A and B are shown apart, each in its own frame.
Chain A
Amino acid sequence: AQSVTQLDSHVSVSEGTPVLLRCNYSSSYSPSLFWYVQHPNKGLQLLLKYTSAATLVKGINGFEAEFKKSETSFHLTKPSAHMSDAAEYFCVVRTGNQFYFGTGTSLTVIP
């Protein structure tokens, strides 16, 4: 069975401090992994995608994620949070023809 676990339902950081959103996945073979962001009352936007070309993946708006096969993790990071980063973040795994979403992490940025 495939699944995605986002370890924190809520994360709160101060503006200018680092962001870490954690994601673990289970998959029977090397999956495609994604992070999507959903701003309030908006649709979903792709932040980044792991394609197996490199374990450190750079995305939009300064976000990056590192694929660690031994830990089955794909954590999302950003060196310095901005107020506009406040949103819901989803880790997604594709295995076969199906996509599996984590339950989401709500990021609050404190001014």
Chain B
Amino acid sequence: EAQVTQNPRYLITVTGKKLTVTCSQNMNHEYMSWYRQDPGLGLRQIYYSMNVEVTDKGDVPEGYKVSRKEKRNFPLILESPSPNQTSLYFCASSVSSGRSGDTQYFGPGTRLTVL
């Protein structure tokens, strides 16, 4: 089944404790992206990746890191989480970012709470 998976689905942590949220897709998509969803703000793009070893900042990259060592995986790293990073996080992938392939497929979401 074609899908985007995220782990963990739920995470409660404390300020400053490094964490990684994994994202994996099995559709051989080139484009992958991370978003955070906050009430009243919709989804905001954190980072995106056009292909292996190619990443770029979205609108809200502060406090986050990503890597794209393999095509299928795009982990989101919070080196020193803070309470303002408490949010619902979505990973997404698409064939490309071009017009013919830019339909994004979303993972189920990761609800992160930073105390």
Contact = CB atoms under 8 A, between A and B. Distances in A.
Contacts, number: 52
B102 to A, nearest CB: 5
Given A97-B97, A101-B42, A34 B103 contact: yes
Interface of B: 31, 33, 35, 40-45, 48, 50, 56, 58-59, 90, 92, 97, 99-100, 102-104, 106-109
A32 B104 CA distance: 12
A22 interface: no
A43 B50 CA distance: 22
Contact of B107 (A9, A43, A97): A43
- Label chain A's interface by main secondary structure: strand
Interface in A49-72: 49, 51-52
B33 A99 contact: yes
Contact of A101 (B44, B50, B107): B44
A84 interface: no
B99 A43 contact: no
A46 B41 contact: no
The 6 closest A-B pairs by CB, nearest first: A101-B42, A101-B43, A103-B42, A44-B106, A97-B97, A43-B106
A94 interface: yes
A25 interface: no
Interface of A: 6, 9, 32, 34, 36, 42-46, 49, 51-52, 90, 94, 96-104
A2 to B, nearest CB: 10
A94 B43 contact: no
B99 A51 contact: yes
Contacts of A103: 40-42
A90 B48 contact: no
